[in-house]
């Protein structure tokens, strides 16, 4: 007897089972198994076709790219769309995905390319209304509100091939090749597969919008992330106007570049110099803030790190961090305790990266440590100084990459000194004061020296 096709599919991770169960063994989620069509029936067996096998060495062409004209978007994709590639854009509802993509489509159309925007969520009138608000109505973007993949492919196969096709969103699309309800994993995977084939066949660049679940994953079809060429995520704090576009996967470019936008009443504005934006509302002269000279991709980025160390009211002190790695905070706290004589037990510790930015670099260790000690000792840090350097478990400050770029950006923004690892000494631009830190304890002692009298005891090694 032929094995029966598996037909219960987890809506979270896409694992398939022959029979229903309450819990998915693969991802551990409850109540996510749904019966879906038994998949393609086994075709009549056919002989395999013989194809040509090529050598790794051979003539190559640079992937042909189309710059969209939205510079921050192109920075993240690595210089523009690659023909025939498919890109998935994820993000929370209301973050501005549709706004970004209608702007990108309009920029493409203005360059004389055919750009098509298919919305499965909004009516044409709604999309048009948004475009009107954004002042894009003069761009020759072609609009449609459709959800059937077959209809979309049939329509687009007539006339010149589009350079750019935007599908908003992949969760609303369905293909009749798959027997499952729209919105199910099988259906989303099927629809994405069809669109990927369309892109490869016609050379159009396709952008799929993907919804994100509460825990930040692109909803349902993790599988789609493996199928597409690039996955971008559009992030930001709902209450703040900054939006950050980040590449999570990119077959044709870097994954460490970020694009920065500002949501305004008239759409998304590109922010060419994000440091200015992230430092625009600095709280000068109060303890607990340090400016970190960071690097995102190839671009230096200055951002304020804020710390608050306050006596705890509960048995277990709180450690809360926004925009940075919680493990990294624990490590810096442990090093400060073990090697610098700062006792955080009995204190709540809060750390925040201003502006809703998320930092991943270990180079932020020194800035975080400075902010923490500054808050603890109630000693404001100099307003004209930036900090960077990685802290090792031994309490030493280790060098980081691209010191020169960090320092140059700091100087450009009016800073005059930097507290940096020893190795960065040679990189100082003219007219810039560098203080190098040997062990972290030296920095702690220097900050605590200016602190409130009650806190002066820190920095002294009590043995
Ligand atoms: P939208 O692009 O519809 O988000 P998504 O497609 O990711 O769900 O953006 C919706 C939000 O953006 C909405 O809350 C209002 C805000 N917005 C502005 O602030 N200014 C604008 O010009 C536009 C078009 C939207
Ligand atoms: Mg939308």
Please report the pLDDT score of residue 461 as a whole number: 43
Answer with the residue of higher pLDDT: 396 or 236: 396
List residues, by chain if needed, whose CB lies under 5 Å from ion ligand 2: 98
Which atom of ligand 1 lies nearest, measured to the CA of 91? Answer: 7
Residue 181: cis peptide before it, omega within 30 degrees of 0:
no
CA nearest to 444, candidates 422, 459, 454: 459
Residue 91: cis peptide before it, omega within 30 degrees of 0:
no
Three-state DSSP class for residue 88: strand
DSSP state of 192: H
Distance 107 CA to ligand 1 centre (A): 18
CB of 52 within 6 A of ligand 1: the answer is no
Please report the pLDDT score of residue 207 as a whole number: 95
Q: Binning pLDDT at 50, 70 and 90, where does residue 460 land? A: very low
The helix or strand, by DSSP H or E, that contains position 245, with its residue range, turns out to be strand 242-250
Q: Is the pLDDT of residue 219 over 70?
A: no
Answer with the residue of higher pLDDT: 452 or 244: 244
Query: In the predicted model, what is the mean pLDDT of residues 53-81?
Result: 84
Mean pLDDT of the chain: 86
CB of 238 within 6 A of ligand 1: the answer is no
Answer with the residue of higher pLDDT: 54 or 350: 350
pLDDT digits (tens, 9 = 90+) for 103-120: 999 999 999 999 999 999
Least confident of 1-5, 227-231, 430-434: 1-5
Q: Is the pLDDT of residue 298 over 70?
A: yes
Within 13 Å and on the Cβ side, how many CA atoms surround 257? 18
Query: In the predicted model, what is the mean pLDDT of residues 81-104?
Result: 92
Query: In the predicted model, what is the mean pLDDT of residues 337-362?
Result: 90
Q: Which residues pair with 301 in a beta bridge?
A: 294
DSSP readout, 321-382?
A: EESS-HHHHHHHHHHHHHHH----TTEEEEEEEGGG-----GGGHHHHHHHHHHHHHT-PPP
How much of the chain exceeds pLDDT 90, in percent?
47
Please report the pLDDT score of residue 311 as a whole number: 92
Least confident of 42-56, 230-244, 335-349, 355-369: 42-56
Tell me phi and psi for residue 64, to 5 degrees.
-70, 125
pLDDT digits (tens, 9 = 90+) for 156-166: 988 888 999 99
Q: Is the pLDDT of residue 64 over 80?
A: no
Cα distances from 330 to residues 248, 269, 311, 317, in angstroms, run 26, 36, 17, 12
Please report the pLDDT score of residue 58 as a whole number: 76
CB of 96 within 6 A of ligand 1: the answer is yes
Q: How far apart are CA 450 and CA 137, in angstroms?
A: 59
**Closest residue by CA, ligand 1 atom 8:** 94
Please report the pLDDT score of residue 206 as a whole number: 96
Please report the pLDDT score of residue 2 as a whole number: 47
**Highest-scoring range by mean pLDDT, 34-38, 235-239, 240-244:** 240-244
Can you give the length of the chain in residues?
A: 463
Whether the CB-CB separation of 306 and 286 falls below 8 Å is answered with no
CB of 352 within 6 A of ligand 1: the answer is no
Q: Binning pLDDT at 50, 70 and 90, where does residue 8 land? A: confident
Query: In the predicted model, what is the mean pLDDT of residues 292-307?
Result: 90
DSSP state of 218: B
Please report the pLDDT score of residue 5 as a whole number: 61
Tell me phi and psi for residue 461, to 5 degrees.
-75, 110
CB of 266 within 6 A of ligand 1: the answer is yes
Q: Binning pLDDT at 50, 70 and 90, where does residue 280 land? A: confident
Q: Which residues pair with 128 in a beta bridge?
A: none
Please report the pLDDT score of residue 37 as a whole number: 62
Pairing of the two strands 289-296 and 299-311? antiparallel
| Ligand 1 pocket mutation pick from 88, 93, 94, 209 by most atoms within 8 angstroms of CB | 94
Separation of CA 4 from chain center: 41
Answer with the residue of higher pLDDT: 45 or 237: 237
Q: How far apart are CA 244 and CA 241, in angstroms?
A: 10
Q: Is the pLDDT of residue 145 over 50?
A: yes
Q: How far apart are CA 420 and CA 435, in angstroms?
A: 6
**Closest residue by CA, ligand 1 atom 25:** 267
């Amino acid at each position: 007897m032929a094995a029966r096709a598996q037909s219960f599919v987890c809506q979270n991770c896409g694992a398939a089972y022959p029979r229903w169960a309450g819990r998915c063994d693969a991802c551990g989620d409850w109540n996510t198994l749904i019966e879906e069509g038994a998949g393609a029936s086994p075709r009549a067996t056919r002989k395999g076709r013989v194809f040509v096998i090529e050598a790794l060495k051979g003539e190559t062409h640079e992937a042909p790219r189309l710059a969209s004209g939205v510079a921050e978007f192109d920075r993240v994709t690595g210089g523009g769309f690659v023909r025939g590639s498919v890109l998935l854009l994820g993000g929370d509802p209301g973050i501005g995905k549709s706004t970004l993509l209608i702007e990108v489509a309009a920029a493409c159309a203005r360059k004389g390319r055919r750009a098509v925007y298919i919305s499965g969520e909004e009516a044409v009138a709604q999309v048009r209304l948004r475009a009107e608000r954004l002042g894009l109505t003069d761009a020759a973007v072609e609009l449609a509100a459709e959800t059937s993949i077959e209809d979309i492919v049939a329509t687009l196969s007539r006339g010149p091939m589009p350079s750019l096709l935007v599908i908003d969103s992949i969760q609303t699309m369905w293909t009749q090749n798959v027997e499952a309800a729209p919105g199910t994993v099988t259906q989303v995977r099927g629809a994405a597969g069809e669109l990927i084939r369309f892109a490869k066949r016609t050379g159009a660049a396709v952008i799929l919008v993907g919804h994100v679940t509460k825990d930040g994953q692109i909803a349902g079809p993790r599988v789609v992330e493996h199928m597409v060429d690039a996955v971008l995520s559009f992030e930001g704090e709902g209450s703040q106007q900054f939006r950050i576009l980040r590449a999570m996967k990119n077959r044709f470019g870097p994954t460490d570049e970020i694009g920065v936008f500002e949501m305004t009443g008239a759409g998304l504005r590109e922010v060419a110099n994000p440091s200015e934006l992230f430092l625009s509302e600095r709280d000068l002269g109060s303890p607990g803030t340090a400016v970190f000279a960071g690097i995102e991709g190839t671009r230096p980025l200055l951002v304020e790190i804020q710390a608050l160390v306050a006596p705890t009211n509960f048995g277990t002190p709180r450690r809360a961090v926004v925009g940075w790695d919680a493990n990294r905070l624990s490590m810096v706290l442990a090093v400060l305790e073990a090697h610098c004589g700062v006792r955080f037990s009995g204190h709540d510790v809060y750390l925040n990266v201003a502006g809703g930015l998320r930092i991943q670099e270990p180079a932020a260790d020194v800035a975080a440590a400075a902010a923490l000690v500054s808050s603890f000792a109630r000693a404001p840090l100099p307003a004209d100084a930036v900090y960077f350097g990685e802290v090792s478990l031994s309490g030493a400050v280790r060098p980081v990459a691209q010191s020169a770029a960090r320092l140059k950006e700091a100087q450009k923004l009016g800073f005059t000194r930097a507290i940096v690892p020893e190795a960065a000494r040679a990189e100082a631009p003219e007219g810039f004061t560098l203080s190098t830190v040997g062990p972290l304890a030296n920095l702690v002692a220097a900050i605590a020296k200016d602190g409130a009298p009650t806190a002066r005891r820190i920095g002294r090694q009590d043995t």
